[in-house]
């Protein structure tokens, strides 16, 4: 391969990497704006906030984070295991999706929901 095309390839890969990290950074900002007042995402952080710590929430059974004492009975009984579909419906309108739950949040923009869900997946 000629040196010129190697360089092109390298630039191409760097561009992909930067693009990827910007997607994550953008999602991080969305999370801070929409969720961080009520949710910590630091592993092992037990500071009491309005909502439970969301580190590792993707794939976890709902209402099972041990350091959070305020889960609603509705969420505890929901039998949800957090995946894309459940999270999408939860973020669309949490109290509508799980009747009797206590998080007040509704996001009508599907793109915003998807970015936030992808961000949640990185927290592991
Ligand atoms: C006003 C505070 C508040 C905001 C803002 C908020 N949440 Fe919540 N969240 C809560 C509360 C309270 C619960 C517990 C709900 C229950 O037990 O019924 C919760 C629960 C959750 C759960 C379930 C956790 C588990 O352990 O099962 C997820 C997932 C979640 N929130 C994600 C989000 C995301 C993502 C955002 C931002 C888009 C967000 N929340 C915004 C207060 C909030």
Q: What is the pLDDT of residue 119?
A: 95
Q: Exposed (0-12), middle (13-18) or buried (19+): which is 78, by Cβ within 10 Å?
A: buried
Q: What is the pLDDT of residue 27?
A: 81
> Class of the 3-121 domain?
mainly alpha
Q: Which residues are paired to 97 by β-bridges?
A: none
In this structure, the residues whose C-beta lies within 6 A of any atom of ligand 1 are 34-35, 37-39, 50-52, 54, 57, 62-63, 65, 71-72, 74-75, 82, 91, 101-105, 116
Q: What is the pLDDT of residue 48?
A: 87
Task: Say what the pTM is.
Answer: 0.86
Mean pLDDT, range 73-99, rounded to an integer: 98
Query: What is the token pair recorded at 76?
Result: 């505890």
| Confidence band for 1, pLDDT divided at 50, 70 and 90 | low
């Amino acid at each position: 391969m000629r040196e010129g095309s190697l360089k092109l390839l390298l630039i191409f890969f760097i561009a992909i990497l930067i693009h990827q990290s910007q997607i994550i950074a953008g999602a991080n900002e969305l999370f801070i704006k929409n969720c961080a007042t009520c949710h910590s995402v630091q592993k092992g952080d037990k500071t009491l906030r309005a909502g439970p710590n969301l580190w590792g929430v993707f794939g976890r059974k709902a209402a099972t984070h041990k350091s959070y004492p305020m889960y609603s009975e509705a969420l505890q009984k929901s039998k949800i295991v957090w995946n894309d579909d459940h999270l999408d419906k939860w973020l669309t309108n949490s109290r509508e999706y799980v009747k009797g739950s206590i998080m007040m949040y509704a996001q009508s923009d599907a793109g915003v929901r998807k970015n936030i869900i992808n961000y949640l997946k990185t927290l592991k």
